[in-house]
Amino acid sequence: MKKLILGILDCDDLSPELRGDYHCYTCMFKTLFEPVHSTIEYRRYDVQKNKLPNEVNECDAYLITGSKTGVYDDKAWIETLKTFIQKAYAQEVKLVGLCFGHQILADSLGGKAEKSDKGWGVGAMVSQGVELADWMPDKLDSICLLYSHQDQVTRLPPKSQLLFTSDFCQYSAFYIPDRVLAFQGHPEFTVDYCHRLMFIRQSRYAEGQYAQAVKSLEKTLHSDVLASWIINFVQVGERQ
C-alpha cells in the first residue's frame, strides 16, 4: 500500500475536560483512519497559531478539522486559512473538510456559511443521499453521523455537487469533482466523546434538546464508511 501524506489543518483545541483522553483532532483522525489505511504519514499544522504548509504540495491532500470559531469571525488565522485553501484549490491539491472545515471550504471557494436560525444540531443525525460518486462504493441511501454545530453552509460554491441533505441541514455534504470533499458531520467523534461534549455544552441547547441528543446516540453510525470514502477520494478521486 502506497504511503499517503495527509496534512491535518487542526483548527481548534479540544475542551480541557476531554483533552486528557482524546488529545487533539489530529489524534482522533489517526484513530479513525487506522483501520482503513495503515501507512498514512500525518503532518499536523496548528492553524490557530498561523502554522500552515510553506508550499501546498508538502502533502498529498489536506483535511480541515472542526473549530469553535465561525468562518465569519474576525480572526487573522481565518483569513490566512482561506488564502491557503484558495491556493491549494488552484493547484489542484485535494481538500477535505469536516464541520468547520466543511463550512470554510464552501466560504473560501465562492459559497457561504453562517450561523443558522435553526439553532444547534447535536447528537446522531441522518442525512439522505442525493448523488454518490464512483469512489463511494457503499451505495447508501442515507448516512448517520455525529454532529455538533450551529453554523451551516447556506450556499454551495460553484461546480459543487450535493451529496447528502436533511431537513435540518440542507447542505450536509458536497464535493467538487477531484478537488474537494466536505461533510458537516464528525466521523472522528466517538459516542463517548460526543456524549461528554454535549454534557459540557448542554446549557447552550434548546429545552429538552440535550436529552433528545443523548437518546439519538443509540443509532447506528456510518463513521467507518465515511472514513473509507475520504481515503478513496484522496487516493483516486474521479476514476476516468
Q: What average pLDDT does this structure show over 146-157? A: 96
Vertex 29 angle, CA 25 and 31, to 5°: 120
- Rounded Cα distance between 48 and 22, Å, is 19
Is 62 a residue whose pLDDT tops 50?
yes
Q: What is the pTM of this model?
A: 0.94
| Between residues 88 and 39, the one the model is more confident about | 88
What phi and psi values does residue 151 have, to the nearest 5 degrees? -95, 155
- Rounded Cα distance between 194 and 216, Å, is 11
- Rounded Cα distance between 34 and 59, Å, is 18
Percent helix, percent strand, percent coil in the chain, to nearest 5: 35, 25, 40
* Structural domains of the chain sorted by starting position, each given as residue range(s) with its CATH number in brackets: 4-236 (3.40.50.880)
Q: What is the pLDDT of residues 69-85, one digit of tens each?
A: 999 999 999 999 999 99
Predicted pLDDT of residue 128: 97
What is the percent of the chain where pLDDT is above 90?
A: 90
- Rounded Cα distance between 150 and 70, Å, is 9
Residue pair 132/139 in contact by the 8 Å Cβ criterion: yes
What is the percent of the chain where pLDDT is above 70?
A: 98
